[in-house]
Amino acid sequence: MFKSQPADRRHTPRSAANARGIVVAPGIEIACVIADTSDGGLKVRLDRALALPAQVIVVDVAAGLAIEADTAWRNGAETGLKRRGQASLRGLVPSRWLAAREAWTRAGGR
């Protein structure tokens, strides 16, 4: 028999992103793939199973965005994150976004 798909509990539709990203938190800067996004959150895929801290910043390298997020779930190398806010990394940034901006610059962001 075929397994039925679990119910999607999102309040907003998700869309595939497949974007290059960086997860930034105190003591952590690790490359990731932003697998999909929605207005409420995003799913990131790391190259190995790693427990992320409760709060992280995900840098979308191509878009030049820093996304503040809370860890919602983890399944192997994938982690679901709930969005808290976001800011552009272009131009001047507040000090709380500085580590994200530096990671973005090292990754080739302009």
CATH number at residue 97: 2.40.10
Query: How many domains would you assign to the chain?
Result: 1
* Residues facing 33 on adjacent strands: 20, 45
| Domain membership flag for residue 88 | yes
| Domain membership flag for residue 2 | no
Measure CA 26 to chain center: 15
95-98 long-range CB contacts below 8 Å, 24 or more apart? 97/57, 97/66
pLDDT in tens, 51-67: 899 999 999 999 999 99
Query: Given this model, what pLDDT does residue 11 score?
Result: 60
- pTM, to two decimals: 0.85
| Domain membership flag for residue 95 | yes
| Domain membership flag for residue 93 | yes
| Domain membership flag for residue 1 | no
| Domain membership flag for residue 42 | yes
Q: Is residue 5 predicted with pLDDT exceeding 90? A: no
Domain with 66, as residue range(s), is: 15-105
Q: Is residue 110 predicted with pLDDT exceeding 60? A: yes
Q: Is residue 4 predicted with pLDDT exceeding 50? A: no
| Domain membership flag for residue 64 | yes
